[in-house]
């Protein structure tokens, strides 16, 4: 196998601790350049001002993106009370400046914070990548056009004050994919009556991957130069460890590789969308398998093992 064939065979996950100041796309490009593998993509944009967990799929594992992207996220957000901005963060223009320190107690703040827990409707910021009739909202906002974005349903599982240092508060946010923490800060300020905006954001978890699994981008780039970056590559099968696993013997792996169905001779209960992970006895991700309930067969939906 030549060097290019070897690169084409590499599949897995790199969990990067993204530094402030880089876009998520910048990080993907750095990984493409460092590994020499063009097939790479992230599973959920992290704003340039934010740091923390950015999950990068490389090689055939990029086909897991739609499933990994939908995973829950966790953040530490620094919210400043007393003013509002048009971008809902510190980059924007003040639209509600405050001349007095907000008179909000910690108990009042926590009481209002609780109202955002659960399934709620949230309107994304006007300065966001949301598309309106094919155009990015931030492009329209920068041109001074009126931006009207329809609210969407999100889930906020947990909110907790980690540090109370008014006018700034550090909040732990556990939420569904698609949640804008900037909007949460702005909406919180509206309910408090004093305004608020996001001044710092660090993603601490994305799906099953946390900061403990991550490697700082600088350290990863050093490993590219040293040629030992493979030590940080996580097997693709681990990206969906919360999914049920169907262990396949060598004959079954060969059958699935060629798109053949397998009879359901086990008691395994499928997960989301009737899917399970088909995993080899060596722990490699072979395929995503879908249960055909009528015929009681496992149908290969996406095959990764070649």
Catalytic sites, residue numbers:
47
Q: How far apart are CA 230 and CA 214, in angstroms?
A: 14
Sign of CA dihedral 35, 73, 53, 139: positive
Contact criterion met (CB below 8 Å) for 214 and 16: yes
Total residue count of the chain as it appears in this document? 306
Q: How far apart are CA 126 and CA 101, in angstroms?
A: 27
Q: How far apart are CA 256 and CA 226, in angstroms?
A: 37
The per-residue DSSP string of 237-249 comes to GGGGTTS-EEEE-
Q: Which residue, among 228, 235, 234, 280, has the nearest Cα to 254 in the 3D structure?
A: 280
Element (H, E) at 170: strand 168-175
Q: How far apart are CA 268 and CA 246, in angstroms?
A: 7
Contact criterion met (CB below 8 Å) for 207 and 66: no
Query: The tokens of 138 are what?
Result: 């931030």
Q: How far is CA 63 from CA 35, 102, 204, 252, 282, in A?
A: 18, 48, 24, 21, 21
Tokens 């980690």, located at residue: 162
Pairing between strand 40-42 and 51-58?
antiparallel
Q: Which residues contact 181 (CB under 8 A, 6 or more apart)?
A: 75, 77, 173, 175, 198, 201
């Amino acid at each position: 196998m030549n060097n290019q064939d070897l690169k084409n065979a590499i599949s897995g996950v790199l969990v990067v601790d993204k530094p402030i100041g880089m876009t998520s796309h910048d990080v993907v490009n750095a990984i493409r350049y460092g590994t020499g593998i063009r097939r790479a993509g992230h599973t959920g944009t992290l704003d340039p001002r934010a740091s923390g967990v950015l999950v990068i799929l490389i090689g055939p594992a990029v086909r897991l993106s739609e499933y990994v992207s939908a995973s829950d996220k966790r953040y530490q957000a620094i919210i400043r009370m007393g003013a509002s901005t048009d971008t809902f963060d510190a980059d924007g223009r003040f639209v509600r400046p405050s001349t007095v320190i907000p008179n909000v107690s910690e108990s009042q703040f926590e009481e209002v914070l609780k109202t955002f827990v659960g399934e709620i409707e949230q309107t994304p910021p006007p300065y966001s990548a949301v598309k309106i009739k094919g155009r990015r909202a931030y492009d329209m906002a920068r041109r001074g056009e009126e931006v009207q974005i329809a609210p969407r349903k999100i889930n906020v599982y947990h909110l907790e004050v980690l540090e109370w240092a008014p006018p700034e508060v550090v909040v732990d946010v556990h939420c569904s994919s698609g949640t804008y923490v900037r909007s949460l800060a702005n909406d919180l300020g509206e309910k408090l009556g004093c305004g608020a905006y996001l001044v710092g954001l660090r993603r601490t978890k994305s799906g099953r991957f946390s900061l403990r699994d991550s490697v700082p981008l600088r350290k990863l780039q050093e490993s590219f130069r040293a040629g030992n970056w493979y030590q940080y590559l996580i097997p693709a099968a681990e990206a969906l460890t919360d999914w049920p696993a169907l262990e396949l013997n060598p004959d079954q792996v060969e059958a699935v590789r060629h798109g053949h169905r397998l009879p359901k001779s086990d008691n395994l209960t499928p997960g989301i969308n009737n899917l399970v992970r088909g995993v080899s006895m060596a722990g490699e991700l072979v395929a995503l398998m879908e249960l055909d309930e009528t015929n009681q067969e496992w149908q290969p939906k996406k095959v990764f093992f070649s």
